[in-house]
Structure 1
């Protein structure tokens, strides 16, 4: 049997995982600027944020929207390595020294 795959990007992602990801990416101060919620402004913590967001559907929706926007803003991971661009060879800083020293 084939496993059911969900097209929902939030499938399997807990609220705690979302907050941890957003804090790692933006920090509490930037999150407070983007989403006007007191639990992000005054003495922010994961526990207080989870408690508030689980009880407040509109705030949870805003956090989920920011999380989805942050996923879309990150570059997609590739399976193929990026092609190397040709660059001019860097000048060897020791080239003049090697020429001037007798061997």
Structure 2
């Protein structure tokens, strides 16, 4: 895959997560991706820490972001 076709190219995980929280809110985000860092006392900092070391969860968040950008 070339970077030109990669919708995540140049997007930091923090920017991606912040946009998702701004769009969905923590409650909706937690219902779409059921991970504790979104449902139990959520914050950008704690979520970033979890997502940086948990690939399956980061993939789900990235895929949700891509869907948002396609339809947004």
- TM-score by length of structure 2 reads 0.94
- Give the match's secondary structure for 1:10: coil
In 2, Cα distance between the equivalents of 1:73 and 1:7? 16
Larger relative contact order, structure 1 or 2 (CA cutoff 8 Å, min sep 6) = 2
Select 2:67's aligned residue among 49, 59, 69: 69
**Unpaired runs of 5+ in structure 1?**
75-103
Partner residue, 1:42: 40
Larger radius of gyration: 1
In structure 2, runs of 5+ residues without a counterpart are none
Aligned partner of 2:27 in structure 1 is 29
RMSD value, Cα: 0.9
Runs of 4+ aligned residues of structure 1 deviating over 3 Å after TM superposition are none
**Aligned length in residues:** 70
Distance 2:58 2:25 in 1: 17
Instruction: Please give the TM-score of this superposition, normalised by the length of structure 1.
Output: 0.66
